Structure 1
């Protein structure tokens, strides 16, 4: 664990990883987004037609494009300058997407209460100051609006988690350790170096959500559908424990 690293170091690593990361993304995202996260997120979203939507941590922009194709006016931000470049290159000019480089911990260039929906897909665990990121999302969201975010499941994906295997590679069970450690750790993800993730307990997430002023409307722990298991049978093992968790929050301030 690399306890002295923060968001700035995470940005540098994601920027260096951006091209390899984007190469694994289609218009449905990567395979985990296709199987788990897209179905969960879109099940929580009402019609976005003619709505102002923020894609908070857009990466190479696949979700921004999906939202824009559904009729949303999308503002998309990412803290990696290279990710923004790739997203702009991949986006047709006729889609209503405005890309900006920016850290979700501080989006001062965006106006208060300016979005009816904010989606942050697998981003919050990449930020050292998640409390400030939640405050920014609350500031930017209109009264009655929704904030949907997905993260690695903090109960199961921890700094010391992974499969227990037999000598011949058979997966016996999923080990979890260091759950109560809160802070940065390295995860083997990059093509040349590890990425930095920031772990918090489920208690910390929920208490921060409540303290920020959000109302928790729904929580999903995505699992592969029968249709996805037919397409990708190897994901049968993901019926044993969840890798992700998705929250739908509402801003009830003055609503």
Structure 2
């Protein structure tokens, strides 16, 4: 019981952080502010979403993925659905896209009938989700047979907490250090001065095994290099430009 209470306390504290710092996300990662989204993430999701019309965006934030996928054009839906546990994010998403449907809900308890969607997207979300087993199970439940799940993560290996570029002046070597990859852990990071965001690290095998157990099979896996716009802004990343920050999985439900 104590573990259950502790998990609920952590989840409540994490949600409070997201409510408090929602504007940090809105200002820095939407409306063209972030080159990784503009040059890499959004184009990839759009390419992998062609032909699907019943779309759910899990952890939608202020709704930029739904806005991108519901834009006018061929083979795009008139209405996408986005869910997010933060009321501040949901309110902003509704403000920015009047035609979309946005709901406050958590990934581990989705308010939808079985097989309601032919496409589910989760972009840089599951590294903030505590109840990962229930959340993947819910993705599979609401996805129709033959449907697609687009799953994007901060690279679980190469972006493990405490990983980074090392310039060793003693050994006269330069290398990318990997943190405690196999250790599942919850941390709160100061991503900007006075802005604290919770992160959950898990090894890749944890996610892959969960996907397979829930009938979600990987069709394609991408580990793209950081895009030019990001490298131009992040001077400290110049020497590690060959290290991917993103892992993208395209899966289908069987």
TM-score interval for Structure 1 and Structure 2 normalised by the shorter chain: 0.7 to 0.9
> Does the 8 A contact of 1:17 with 1:191 survive in 2?
no
How many Å separate the matches in 2 of 1:103 and 1:241? 32
SS in 2 for 1:24: helix
Give the Cα separation in 1 of the matches to 2:162 and 2:108. 26
Q: CA RMSD in A?
A: 2.5
Of the two structures, which has the highest relative contact order with CA contacts closer than 8 Å and spacing of 6 or more? 1
**Superposition pairs of residues 1-255 of structure 1, within 5 angstroms:** 6-28=10-32, 30-48=34-52, 51-70=53-72, 71-72=76-77, 73-91=79-97, 93=98, 95=99, 97-107=100-110, 109-165=111-167, 172-224=174-226, 237=239, 239-252=241-254
> How far apart, in 2, do the equivalents of 1:121 and 1:82 lie?
18
Residue 47 of structure 1 and its aligned partner are, at CA, apart by 2.6
Residues 40-92 of structure 1: per-residue CA shift (max 9 Å, x gap)? 323322234xx11001110011111011115322011001110111111112x
Deviates more, 1:145-154 or 1:19-28: 19-28
Alignment partners' CA distance in 2, 1:208 and 1:139 = 13
Distance in 2 separating the partners of 1:7 and 1:233: 31
Deviation of the 1:177 alpha carbon: 1.4
Q: SS at 2:109's partner residue?
A: coil
Measured in 2, the distance between the counterparts of 1:29 and 1:118 equals 25
Q: Aligned equivalents of 1:22 and 1:6: distance in 2?
A: 23
In structure 1, distance between residues paired with 2:17 and 2:140: 27
Asked if the contact 1:64–1:76 (Cα under 8 Å) also holds between the matched residues in 2, the reply is yes
